[in-house]
């Protein structure tokens, strides 16, 4: 076993021992991609954020229309459900629609 106190011992990566790869937690096998990199690819990041957080009783139609063509819609919805987002349109669903979805799943 490698010892940090032994200056003459070879470092573990210098040994000819196979090392198991680290598996990604959030579906990406790109080591440079973090868990929230999907947000940079989201179409909402390129549009007016106020559309995604309408006033109470305001229309959600514009935001949902943007979501329909977004490549990271599933990641967005998963994030909102996992983090209990209470406001805004996430993954094409309003807060009320996300609550209904959670009730059906649980």
67 is in an annotated binding site: yes
Alpha carbons 54 and 62: distance in angstroms, whole number? 10
For residue 62 the two structure tokens come to 């514009």
87 is in an annotated binding site: no
**Burial bucket for residue 37 (CB in 10 Å: 0-12, 13-18, 19+):** middle
Terminal Cα-to-Cα distance of the chain (whole angstroms): 47
78 is in an annotated binding site: no
Residues annotated as binding site for [4Fe-4S] cluster? Answer: 44, 67, 70, 76
Binding residues: 44, 67, 70, 76
């Amino acid at each position: 076993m490698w010892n940090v106190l032994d200056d003459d011992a070879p470092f573990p990566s210098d040994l000819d021992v196979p090392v198991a790869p680290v598996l990604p937690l959030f579906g990406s096998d790109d080591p440079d991609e973090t868990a929230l990199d999907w947000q940079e690819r989201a179409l909402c990041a390129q549009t007016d954020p106020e559309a995604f957080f309408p006033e109470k009783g305001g229309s959600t139609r514009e935001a949902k229309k943007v979501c329909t063509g977004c490549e990271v819609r599933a990641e967005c919805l998963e994030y909102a459900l996992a983090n209990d987002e209470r406001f805004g349109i996430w993954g094409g669903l309003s807060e009320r629609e996300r609550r209904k979805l959670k009730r059906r799943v649980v």
